[in-house]
Chains A and B, each alone.
Chain A
Amino acid sequence: MTDGVPILRIGSTLLVSIQIDLQDDTALRLQEDLAERITSSGARGVIIDISGLEIVDSFIGRMLASVAGISHVLDATTVVVGMRPAVAITMVELGLSLGDVRTALDVERALALLTPVEQSPEDVLLAAAEREER
């Protein structure tokens, strides 16, 4: 996956941080890669960080909604984080809805959202790090 967007794994959560101006075919590739990774890793959560996106048009909007739909079917929850105010205002004006996609201000809060009530995010990260070491 050379020119694609990297997908990181934190415990049972996948994290994608989109930093580049995404062209349509790259966005579709990301969607496919995510579907594949969710399945292969048995992830329960997917966090898509769009704080680096200066615009979200109907294509990216549909991609985000699709990823949410796909992960839902695979029993995972998607959270979109870091939408910029100007982007949010534009999307509302455009009439673009992300459907039932959950949103959060940042990655930290998204992790808190996805973490089971008994464990704190820090616990999850430590557990994941320990598993990696073993």
Chain B
Amino acid sequence: MTTATAERLPIRTDSDVVKVRQLVRTLAQEARLSLVDQTKLVTAASELARNTLVYGGGGDAEVVLMTEGVRKGVRAVFSDEGPGIPDLDLALTDGWTSGGGLGLGLSGSRRLVQHFAIDTAAGAGTRVEIATWTR
């Protein structure tokens, strides 16, 4: 049985990205993720939050602390109603950049977390979900 406590933050400004980072870090610490896993998760969250702001035209993040028995985990979902990513395969290739800040965002972030799922289409916005659990 999984129980969860969730918090939703808007992503409209640079300082919002910092707030998202801080929330993810706080929950990752609460979940007792290892320092390396914490760092990786917060870094991925920073990349994705920035994508939401810069590429998605703003959106929000929902961060959840999950408990399943003795295991704990943190999940973050980044959503926007922006232009969406037309060629997802290309975007997930290492080193792809559209300029203006995407850079290594997606493919790199995927390597940093245990669970990564992305939902997007041209003109349909983007939704990225990441999660990491204690080992």
Q: Tell whether any CB of A sits under 8 Å from a CB of B in the complex.
A: yes
- B14-A57 in contact (CB<8A): no
Give the docked Cα–Cα distance between A23 and B50 (Å).
10
Q: What's the tally of chain A residues with a CB closer than 8 Å to chain B? A: 22
Interchain CB contact (< 8 A) of A95 among B15, B18, B35, B104: B104
Give the contact-size bracket for chain B.
20 to 34
Nearest chain A CB to B26's CB is how many angstroms away? 12
Give the docked Cα–Cα distance between A25 and B50 (Å).
12
Give the docked Cα–Cα distance between A39 and B105 (Å).
33
Residues of B within 8 A of A58 (CB): 47, 103-105, 108
11 A–B contact pairs at CB < 8 A? A21-B21, A54-B39, A58-B47, A58-B103, A59-B101, A84-B39, A90-B40, A93-B112, A94-B104, A95-B95, A95-B107
- B50-A86 in contact (CB<8A): no
Interface of A is mostly: helix
Give the docked Cα–Cα distance between A87 and B17 (Å).
18
Interchain CB contact (< 8 A) of A94 among B18, B42, B43: B43
Residues of A within 8 A of B101 (CB): 59
Q: Is A122 engaged at the interface, CB distance under 8 Å to the other chain? A: no
- A94-B25 in contact (CB<8A): no
Residues of B within 8 A of A21 (CB): 18, 21-22
A residues with CB within 8 A of B: 21-26, 54-59, 62, 84, 86-87, 89-90, 93-96
B24-42 vs A, CB cutoff 8 Å, 1 = contact: the mask equals 0100000000011011101
Residues of A within 8 A of B103 (CB): 58, 62
In the complex, chain B residues 62-118 whose Cβ is within 8 Å of any chain A Cβ:
94-95, 101, 103-105, 107-109, 111-112
